Structure 1
Amino acid sequence: MTSRLIVWRHGNTDWNAGSRVQGQTDVPLNELGRRQAVEAAELLAALRPDAIVASDLSRAADTAAALAARTGHTVTYDERLRERFFGAWQGLTTAEVAARRPDEFARWKAGNDVVGGDVETLDDLGKRVADGLQDAARLAPGGVVVAATHGAAARQGIAHLLGWPVSQVRTLRALQNCHWVELTLSDDGAWQLSAYNVGVFAERPVPPAV
């Protein structure tokens, strides 16, 4: 029986809306984000998840809670699913980062590791999140697991599971708020990408996955 892992980005926050770097700052969902979580949960509940796991940051935890309310499952929290730690960037708008830390910002825009600012490396991020996702999937072997996490964390963690190089990761556009990725586990134990950026909502500008 095929295992399915749904990696779900949290709903909108005021910092998303203002292009402000969240990182591991615990920013709550705004009204739009709470509505997005409820509407997306209606679709995800139809997949009959066997387990729900979430980052312990409230924007992901509260997104997962909307699905738990529909399914009756208890949410398991895992800090490994937290967003990338952005160090000195956290709390700044992306425009402020570009103005105050231009070299670091240029490397980030190019998809490379940021040198300086105490920003978590892409490799450390990918390994951390992938480990959390692997353990989440083990909660329901052969079943469906939903993991609520964050934009940059989702993209890098998924890429690490798939064994993709950095250059290939950049072919994945940022996940929209409350959209998700579906992965399936093949018979030989390898993860495969089945669907990307799936969700309820019409196309709109994508807030930075930070």
Structure 2
Amino acid sequence: MTRLLVCRHGQTLWNATGRIQGQTDIDLDEVGRAQAEQAAVLLAAQRPDVLVASDLRRAQDTAAAVAGTTGLPVHTDPRLRERGYGPWEGRTDDELAETYPEEFRRWRAGQPVRVDGVEDLADVSKRMTEGLLAAAERAPGGTVLVITHGGAARRGIGALLGWPDEIVHTLGALSNCHWSELRSGRYGWRLHGHNLGT
């Protein structure tokens, strides 16, 4: 059995102010750094064998806190990045609702949006699945910790579990520095916990 812990990075200023980050490379804020240090202790107690992170700074800095506690090296995989939101990055919900009313409604309903520069959900699911499976292959039968992003985590988890889009959308968002636990066995991947942490 392989355990896969899929963890969201710590808080950034854009998280705190309700701005869409996407693949814009934002640093952790002071709260996010404290969250990462606190989560590092809890995640170290899970005894991970491997640590893999998105290449964006907020995930790398969160992973660095875990590495400092566990002594594990951080492996980087750009497939674990957040969904690319193109022209939506840096904007708030209110701004999007005003500028892209129909697309914004569809997005909030978990439906596909057709905006140039906004990454297709199927593409996010595909690359996240590839990234998560590649991470899991680093320690078959062990515990693999992945530091990624909220929206990307939801898509990757749903894809590994074989859930259709309408079910994936119902999975609650991961809080900053919280994680989901998946385990693989003879029946494939199964979800054993969601939004774990303190």
Scaled by the length of structure 1, the TM-score of the pair is: 0.93
Residue 96 of structure 1 corresponds to which residue in structure 2?
Answer: 95
Alpha-carbon separation, structure 1, partners of 2:97 and 2:27: 25
Percentage of identical aligned residues: 56
Partner SS, residue 146 of structure 1: strand
Q: Aligned-residue CA RMSD in angstroms?
A: 0.8
In structure 2, C-alpha distance between the alignment counterparts of 1:17 and 1:109, rounded to whole Å: 19
1:15·1:21 contact (CA, 8 Å) conserved in 2?
yes
Q: How many residues are aligned here?
A: 198
Unaligned runs of at least 5 residues, structure 2: none
* Distance in 1 separating the partners of 2:26 and 2:115: 24
> SS at 1:48's partner residue?
coil
Name the counterpart of 1:21.
20
Q: Which residue of 1 aligns with 2:124?
A: 125
TM-score by length of 2: 0.98
Q: Where does residue 153 of structure 2 map in the other structure?
A: 154
State the secondary structure of the residue aligned to 2:191. strand
Residue aligned with 1:139, SS = coil
Alpha-carbon separation, structure 1, partners of 2:11 and 2:82: 14
Once the 2 structures are TM-superposed, how far is the Cα of residue 116 of structure 1 from its aligned partner?
1.5
| Aligned counterparts of 1:131 and 1:111: Cα–Cα separation in 2 | 22
Maintained 8 Å contact 1:53/1:75? yes
8 Å Cα contact 1:53/1:78 also seen in 2: yes
- Do 1:51 and 1:145's aligned partners in 2 also have CA atoms closer than 8 Å? yes
**Cα deviation code 1:163-198 (max 9, x no counterpart):** 10011112211111110000000124x111000000
- Aligned equivalents of 1:33 and 1:126: distance in 2? 26
Alpha-carbon distance, 1:153 to partner: 0.2
Tell me by how many angstroms 1:91 deviates. 1.2
The AA in structure 2 aligned to 1:154 is A
Distance 1:70 1:146 in 2: 13
Cα distance in 2 for residues equivalent to 1:77 and 1:136: 10
Note the C-alpha offset of 1:66.
0.6
TM-superposed deviation, 1:117: 3.5
| Structure 1 unaligned spans of 5+ | 201-210
- Compute the displacement of 1:150 (Å): 0.1
Give the corresponding residue for 1:205: none
Partner of 2:48: 49
1:113 positional shift: 0.8
- Following TM superposition, by how much is the alpha carbon of 1:92 offset from its aligned partner in structure 2, in angstroms? 1.0
Q: Pairwise mapping of residues 65-144 of structure 1 onto structure 2 (< 5 A)?
A: 65-144=64-143
**SS of equivalent residue, structure 1 residue 40:** helix
Give runs of aligned pairs for residues 193-204 of structure 1, distance below 5 A.
193-200=191-198
CA contact (8 A) 1:7 1:181 kept: yes
